[in-house]
Amino acid sequence: MFFDTREGLALALPAAIFALLLFIAPVGILLSEAFQSDNGWTLQGYIDFFAKPLNRTVFLRTLKLGILVAGTAAVIGYAAAFCIVNLSASARGRVFGLVVLPLMISPVARTYAWIVILGRTGIVNDTIVGLGLSDTPIRLLFTETAVFLGLLQLFMPLMIISLVSAMENIPRDVIPAARVLGANWFQVFFKVILPLTKEGLVVGGTLVFTGALTAYITPAILGGSKVLMLETLLYQRVNVANDFVSASVIAMILIVMSFSANLLLKRIATARK
């Protein structure tokens, strides 16, 4: 046989063993820490964690912001991707480059900018007061809105990229055909575009949701101690209280949340068929 199995394993296993020993094993031990007690296996760590109102609030807030960020990114992403796909080839390349650009910039820098933008004397408040929408500057920093905006800016490119590549696969004449046959834009979107791009939506949605759950800098700098998210709570539990059981619980919650988001999105995508 040309492609010998043993030879193949010899090529693939170093990578797998590396990931297993130096990555999966330590993470696995960390995750198991919350299940261990002096007298065998236990769920006590989880029960204690969810017994605290602050932890429940943080968990729900993380879930809420994750969904909001992914949802908003999808809405804007569809609009932007649709525009990008319909541009001329050269303009498309340039705009696509600008969309990818933020991904190349350190998240420290991107978050840092929002401190200035969202401040009491920042651009957003100047605009709000200038337009007469409010007499006094409104407080934006250290609110969920600030964290939401920071996360959206951080992860929206991933959604747009996924949706653009999905839309490029839609045959060119499908949409005009649907229009000619009398479909309005609303119908075109739900009957034509959405079914044909749902794989891109699943990929983009998972990436953005997972990214929002596991971002550290944005909630740390823009949310502070008043808008804790699971990731900042984990850091605080470890660093302030040396509390590795809570860290292990939060780690498991984050992983389960990312996995379920991916499964759920896939399920929804296949159910629509």
CB of residue 160 to other proteins, shortest distance in Å: 8
Binding residues among 172-201 for other proteins as defined by CB under 8 A: none
CA–CA dist 83, 100 (Å, integer): 16
Q: Are 117 and 125 in contact (CB under 8 A)?
A: no
d(CA 200, CA 159): 8
Of 6-14, 43-51, 170-178, 182-190, which part binds other proteins (CB under 8 A)? Answer: 6-14
What minimum distance in Å lies between the beta carbon of 13 and other proteins? Answer: 8
Which of 183, 224, 264, 266 binds other proteins (CB under 8 A)? It is 224
DSSP code of residue 138: P
Question: Which window, 37-45, 62-70, 106-114, 171-179, contacts other proteins (CB under 8 A)?
Answer: 106-114
End-to-end CA distance of the chain: 40
Q: Please write down the long-range contacts of 152-155, taking CB distance under 8 Å and 24 or more positions apart.
A: 152/69, 152/72, 152/73, 153/102, 153/110, 153/114, 154/102, 154/107, 154/110, 154/111, 154/211, 154/215, 154/218, 155/69, 155/73, 155/207, 155/208, 155/211, 155/212, 155/215
Does residue 105 bind other proteins (CB under 8 A)?
Answer: yes
Structure-token pair, residue 90: 């050269």
Sites for other proteins among residues 110-169 (CB under 8 A): 110, 112-117, 119-123, 139, 141-142, 152-153, 156-157, 160-161
> How many residues of this chain bind other proteins (CB under 8 A)?
98
Nearer to other proteins among residue 239 and residue 272 (C-beta): 239
Residue 8 engages other proteins in binding (rule: CB under 8 A): yes
Residues 23-82 interacting with other proteins (rule: CB under 8 A): 23-27, 29-30, 52-54, 57, 76, 79-80
